[in-house]
Chain A
Amino acid sequence: ILNVEQSPQSLHVQEGDSTNFTCSFPSSNFYALHWYRWETAKSPEALFVMTLNGDEKKKGRISATLNTKEGYSYLYIKGSQPEDSATYLCALFYNQGGKLIFGQGTELSVKP
């Protein structure tokens, strides 16, 4: 059974702090890694789809890196804002059955 681990489980930071969290996954049979942002009472919002070892993606103040050989991805938020408060999910695309295998998420709270 594939296991996708995210750490930390939750994070509380002050406005303006930069932060990062980790997604770990089995490095074999890698196809793609997806990052999502899920605000309470809203739909999960796609941030990045990453496929290549060494990939780096950026969207505004949020960026992500991928290391498929060692099986991890980092998500960075520069200068956190209260509106960044959400749960950040990573998901491994698993070819069999077309599944996205999600981690438990990192819940980020940014205080003004």
Chain B
Amino acid sequence: GAGVSQSPSNKVTEKGKDVELRCDPISGHTALYWYRQSLGQGLEFLIYFQGNSAPDKSGLPSDRFSAERTGGSVSTLTIQRTQQEDSAVYLCASSLRFTTSSRETQYFGPGTRLLVL
């Protein structure tokens, strides 16, 4: 079956512009996660959704970042007034469900490579 897809695969933008990154999770997966990897850094957790709800937004790096999920499926990560330090690979993952003990495997998309000039 289809895996997690993300679009665009690459995005080059100018400092100060807004960008939207899209994630299509695996069909039927109720939990969705956003991560990013900046150059030379490990994968950093940003936010997760249970259905359309994001219980904890504290991982978002600043108030320029926002995320939403509609219909329990597609999610959009929006970065307003982009800065050069926002340049990173943004990865989305989904899992069948979210549990507090999480043995659930997270399935990752190929990522969006964002470059802010």
Q: Which residues of A contact B (CB under 8 A)?
A: 4, 31-32, 34, 36, 41-46, 49, 51, 89, 91, 93, 95-105
Contacts and interface: CB of A to CB of B under 8 A. Distances in A.
A97 B3 contact: no
Contacts of A46: 105-107
A93 B33 CA distance: 13
Interface of B is mostly: loop
B35 to A, nearest CB: 8
B107 to A, nearest CB: 7
Interface string B78-117: 0000000000000101000010111111111111000000
A76 to B, nearest CB: 20
11 contacts: A4-B42, A31-B101, A43-B107, A49-B103, A51-B103, A96-B56, A97-B45, A98-B31, A98-B33, A98-B56, A99-B59
Contact of A49 (B41, B50, B100, B105): B105
Interface string B53-73: 001101100000000000000
Contact of B103 (A32, A44, A91): A32
B100 A95 contact: yes
Query: Of residues A44, A91, A96, A104, which shows the largest number of chain B Cβ atoms within 10 Å of its Cβ?
Result: A44
A105 B106 contact: no
Contacts of A41: 110
Contacts of B106: 34, 46, 100
A53 to B, nearest CB: 15
A101 B110 contact: no
Contacts of B33: 98, 100
Contacts of A100: 33, 35, 43, 45, 106
A44 B91 contact: yes
Nearest to A101: B45
Contact of B58 (A4, A89, A97): A97
Contact of B42 (A34, A99, A102): A102
A60 to B, nearest CB: 17
Interface string B1-34: 0011000000000000000000000000001010
